[in-house]
């Protein structure tokens, strides 16, 4: 039997080539970062100033260009958000300098609980992905990867669902079709009566969060979103279970 063709053109070689291109190291990183021992606490109170020149005037791969683009995004917001975003951009590229990693971990070790409520979901996810890439401990890398993959899959799944034209809060209506289509890879379908896959997934990630104090505020904040937002697949699963229980009474 011949092997099935890859769904992504170029296979994994192509995927890795594209990823490596995105991971090209910034030039001139030392020109934009503060000293590793800088006062981080004060950056929560200082506001990000507007850039003095547009990013388009700067070399494409320069750290200065990325710094200014982030300056535009965080103008008027706490400077710590601007610095944190820049450190993420640096850390997720090839060969990040030790000074950048020191600052990133200082922020989370010393001020993680204060930083987390200021981050949008986009930057929560980026933070988790950064921990997955460069975490100091196995627990940090495992927890970061679990959070990152879970939110990426929610985004993929729920983005496709939007094409149905139905709101995210509302589960699909059960249709008694003549033909029941198989789940990918021959996996058994999830049971909406006694299934616990979603519960076990969340519980395991919560346990990972509790094993490392540095990533714990980030992880618990992200899991709180999953537990409380009624628009994701996790919420719809719970609603379907509730409906099944109601019909069974």
pLDDT digits (tens, 9 = 90+) for 62-90: 999 999 999 999 999 999 999 999 999 99
CB 244 within 8 A of CB 192: yes
Tens digits of per-residue pLDDT, 115-127?
999 999 999 999 9
Q: Which of 24-28, 82-86, 165-169, 178-182 is predicted least confidently?
A: 178-182
Label residue 1 by pLDDT band (50, 70, 90).
Answer: very low
- pTM of the entire structure? 0.90
Beta bridge partners of 27: 62
Closest CA to 106 of 48, 46, 34: 34
Using alpha carbons only, what angle is made at residue 95 by residues 39 and 210, rounded to the nearest 5 degrees?
A: 60
**Residue 98 is encoded by which pair of tokens?**
């030790």
**Residue 39 is encoded by which pair of tokens?**
């006062």
CB 42 within 8 A of CB 110: no
Tens digits of per-residue pLDDT, 169-179?
888 877 776 67
3-class state of residue 234 by DSSP: helix
């Amino acid at each position: 039997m011949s092997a099935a063709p890859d769904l992504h053109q170029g296979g994994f070689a192509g995927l890795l080539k594209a990823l490596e291109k995105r991971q090209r190291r910034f030039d001139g990183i030392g020109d934009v970062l503060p000293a590793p021992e800088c006062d981080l606490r004060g950056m929560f109170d200082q506001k990000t100033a507007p850039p003095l020149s547009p990013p388009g005037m700067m070399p494409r791969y320069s750290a200065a260009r990325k710094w200014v683009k982030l300056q535009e995004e965080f103008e008027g917001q706490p400077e710590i958000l601007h610095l944190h975003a820049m450190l993420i951009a640096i850390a997720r590229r090839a060969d990040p300098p030790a000074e950048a990693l020191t600052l990133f971990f200082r922020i989370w070790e010393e001020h993680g609980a204060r930083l987390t409520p200021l981050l949008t979901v986009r930057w929560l996810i980026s933070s988790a992905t950064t921990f997955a890439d460069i975490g100091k401990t196995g627990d940090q890398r495992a927890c970061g990867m679990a959070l990152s993959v879970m939110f990426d899959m929610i985004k993929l799944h729920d983005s496709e669902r939007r094409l149905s034209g139905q709101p995210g809060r509302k589960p699909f209506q059960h249709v008694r079709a003549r033909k029941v289509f198989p789940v990918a890879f021959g996996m058994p379908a999830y049971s909406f009566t006694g299934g616990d896959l979603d519960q076990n997934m969340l519980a395991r990630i919560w346990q990972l969060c509790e094993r490392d104090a540095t990533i714990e505020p980030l992880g618990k904040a992200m899991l709180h979103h999953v537990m409380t937002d009624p628009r994701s697949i996790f919420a719809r699963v719970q609603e379907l279970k509730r409906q099944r229980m109601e019909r069974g009474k």
